[in-house]
Structure 1
Amino acid sequence: MILNGVHVLVTRPEHQAENLSCLIKQRGGIAVRFPTLEIVPLDDVEPIKTTLENLDSVHWVIFISANAVNFALKANGGKIRFMESVRFAAVGQSTALAMKIAGLPVDLVPEAGYNSEALLAMPQLQQVEGQNFLIVRGEGGREQLATTLRSRGATVNYLEVYKRIIPRIDNSPVVELLEQHRLDVITVTSAEALQNLHFMLGERNNELLSLIPLVVVSDRIRRIAADIGFNRITVTDKPIDTAILETVITCVTGE
């Protein structure tokens, strides 16, 4: 029981929080679920269907996340028709797994790393002049992948298949833990989730929040957290639940 009853805030979307929460419980901690993002489908799915049924001129389809895979499938009746001329890429291993479960080929996934930079470093994406890319993602998001591919001579279009909203949930259990100094570690897996956390708990609680050890999954989120005012920030080795758990344990035990 390494975590010995410490309270760990889990900010993952509700449908993605179960595994990390169970891992925390198995190691003796108390997972405090407080989703700061909700992932929902777009109101109009017809453009998604039209795009996915007409991939003839596309050379590469890149899925940004497992959510991108799953919401694309939902919008298109549970399947994506593909031809041998289309290659499919995943930003990371979780995305690749979602693609395999969906019956899609995974032609390219970074050997190391779980972000756009790692994918862009792959040899297959160095010489892409004249090729057409379709990036499947949620509304908004980072532009680096498209910007870099365009700088290499590719044509890039987006297919947005979901949107992120701020959940409407009661914040009083978390505020109470904050005020009682019983919230021990915070876990955050995206910059937007971190920013929403600040908003959802209210300005008067932000100072207390900033004193709690924060576990994040990338150096980019670490920099944003530091700008917001967090003082004790640790970055995981990988953006996966087991790595998040091990980092939480390190924060709590110092080992």
Structure 2
Amino acid sequence: MSEPLPRPFVSLVGAGPGDPGLLTLRAREVLSQADVVLVDALVSPALLAHCPQAEVLNVGKRGFLPSATQDDINALLVAKARENGGQRVVRLKGGDPFVFGRGGEEALACRAAGIAFEIVPGISSALSAAAYAGIPVTHRGLGRSFAVLTGTDRHGPAAYADLAGVDTLVFLMAARHLGQITSDLMAAGRDPHTPAACVQWASTPQQRSVRATLGTLAQRVQEAGLGAPAVTIVGEVAALQAELNWFDPAAMPLHGAQVAVTRTRVQADSTLASLLHGRGAQVSEIPLLRFLPGRAREVAGALGGFDGWVLLCSEQAVRALAQSLLAAGRDLRVLARARLAAVGSGTAQALRDLGLAPDFVPSRSGSRHLGAELPAQPGEVVLHIGSQQPDPVLDAALAARGIECLTLEAYRSEYNDLSAAQRMQLQEAQVVTLASATGARALAGVAGTDFTAAVIGPQTELAAREVGFTRLVLAEHPTLDSLGDAVVWAYRQSGGLSASSQV
């Protein structure tokens, strides 16, 4: 990671065309350092998982409805950058900030106010929408030049007279005036039979496209019900869509599904979100817990010289163990004589990331299996590194074998205060995912149990039923791929209703 940004500082960041996976690495880094994020309406909500620490202000424009003016946004950028003695502000914009994104105006406003700024380019929808529809804007023999135009302020045949030599025309924000634009192009000399296409919600599971000719495009778009946000392509290259249309969300099993991925980790794990997005879902990541320091001195004192089993049942427990030792003026060397047991592969990898090899991992992930298979003898005392809440399943499995388990509070967990946007994402979701018993209990505490949920394993299912969930689909295997399959089944059973509005 590069050096932290100075304060006050403004980053004008392109978010790409819609798919959160198309965000650049630099943009993700800048978001992680932001104090304030001013976000456009067309930016995927999933990108806000990269800036949980930031104040988020929605300043987007949608559907020609009343909204903040550009002067308002410019003034807000400057005011937020100066607030609290200087803040890092991100202006998160769809596409690229310098391609009809008014990024230049915002940069000039920063310069006039003496605020340092940077430009973080994004993938422009002018090129990516065509690519996701299988249309190359240039192609040997068909198009060697292209122009990108706005559909909002160039009207009349004279506006296009100087474009006669340009092979491919790409229009942004043209949906409202498409009939006039196509008529003006034909009046300016474009052949009505020129291939043309319109792509709505490019790169997202909601993507739809219409292929026609210049003369028929406006009517075909109206019949199909396409509207903003859309990109229009006019030129011989548009005919290639018939052979190159590679991205078809309608063929994906989760096409149109709203899925909320609940998580209890400090950082988002995008693996499951990416898997579901690849199957056509619109995914929101919802953090259910926040973590606070535990009793560091007690943890360090109990571990000093301990030569028995130390049990870790989550990646958070591994991080909290290391942080507790450091907070108490100790380090991982106090574990030299201990034997380490990890509840599953993720926790085991978290130990390896610290340079610690686990001495034992059960055959199947889960507290019950850890307690049943741990190679300890009756009468032994083992230490469980966890939160302020003991693990009743682990304690019961060990007690049945005559093994005493003492829980050390390495961290405290509390329910997260969800934003209004996050609560709305939960309400709109047809399926939520539960990847742990802790997650099931946390979702019940934060938002209730009136959800259709896909759960990763029997222990999670049991915990979910104990707190009141009734509409559950159990993954066949405790893997993310299998959990993704369970989401598909849950979505089919939900009938497309939102997860929290079913009878």
- 2 CA distance for matches of 1:99 and 1:227? 31
Residue of 285, 288, 297 corresponding to 1:36: 288
> Which one has a bigger Cα radius of gyration?
2
- 1 CA distance for matches of 2:456 and 2:321? 25
- 2 CA distance for matches of 1:229 and 1:62? 29
SS in 2 for 1:67: helix
Kindly provide the amino acid, as one letter, of the partner of residue 197 in structure 1: L
Is the 2:456–2:480 contact (alpha carbons within 8 Å) kept by the matching residues of 1? no
Map residues 162-173 of structure 1 onto 2, 5 A cutoff. Answer: 162-172=411-421
- 1 CA distance for matches of 2:261 and 2:346? 19
Residue of 244, 251, 257 corresponding to 1:6: 257
Is the 1:57–1:132 contact (alpha carbons within 8 Å) kept by the matching residues of 2? no
Is the 2:372–2:398 contact (alpha carbons within 8 Å) kept by the matching residues of 1? no
Deviation at 1:47, TM superposition (A): 2.2
Structure 1 residue 71 and structure 2 residue 320: aligned?
yes
Is the 2:344–2:362 contact (alpha carbons within 8 Å) kept by the matching residues of 1? yes
SS in 2 for 1:72: helix
Deviation at 1:218, TM superposition (A): 3.1
Residue of 374, 394, 397 corresponding to 1:145: 394
Structure 1 residue 246 and structure 2 residue 485: aligned?
yes
Structure 1 residue 118 and structure 2 residue 364: aligned?
no
Map residues 124-203 of structure 1 onto 2, 5 A cutoff. Answer: 124-125=375-376, 128-172=377-421, 174-175=423-424, 178=427, 182-201=428-447
SS in 1 for 2:287: coil
**What's the counterpart of residue 90 of structure 1?**
342
- 2 CA distance for matches of 1:65 and 1:177? 25
Structure 2, unpaired ranges of 5+: 1-248, 494-503
Aligned residues: 238
Structure 1 residue 45 and structure 2 residue 296: aligned?
yes
Kindly provide the amino acid, as one letter, of the partner of residue 46 in structure 1: R
Deviation at 1:12, TM superposition (A): 0.5
Deviation at 1:100, TM superposition (A): 1.3
Deviation at 1:226, TM superposition (A): 4.2
Kindly provide the amino acid, as one letter, of the partner of residue 483 in structure 2: I
Structure 1, unpaired ranges of 5+: none
Residue of 234, 249, 254 corresponding to 2:473: 234
- 1 CA distance for matches of 2:405 and 2:446? 35
SS in 1 for 2:375: helix
Is the 2:436–2:460 contact (alpha carbons within 8 Å) kept by the matching residues of 1? yes
Identity %: 24
> Scaled by the length of structure 2, what TM-score is found?
0.42
Residue of 79, 102, 107 corresponding to 2:354: 102
Residue of 270, 278, 297 corresponding to 1:18: 270
Deviation at 1:242, TM superposition (A): 3.1
Kindly provide the amino acid, as one letter, of the partner of residue 394 in structure 2: L
- 1 CA distance for matches of 2:361 and 2:289? 26
- 2 CA distance for matches of 1:123 and 1:155? 12
Deviation at 1:8, TM superposition (A): 0.3
Deviation at 1:195, TM superposition (A): 4.1
- C-alpha offsets along residues 125-175 of structure 1, whole Å, 9 cap, x if unaligned? 3xx134331111122032343344345444432222112111112235544
- C-alpha offsets along residues 31-89 of structure 1, whole Å, 9 cap, x if unaligned? 122222223322x422223333x1x2432111111111111012223941156643211
Structure 1 residue 80 and structure 2 residue 335: aligned?
no
Is the 1:5–1:28 contact (alpha carbons within 8 Å) kept by the matching residues of 2? yes
Kindly provide the amino acid, as one letter, of the partner of residue 188 in structure 1: L
Kindly provide the amino acid, as one letter, of the partner of residue 241 in structure 1: L
> Larger relative contact order (C-alpha < 8 A, sep ≥ 6)?
1
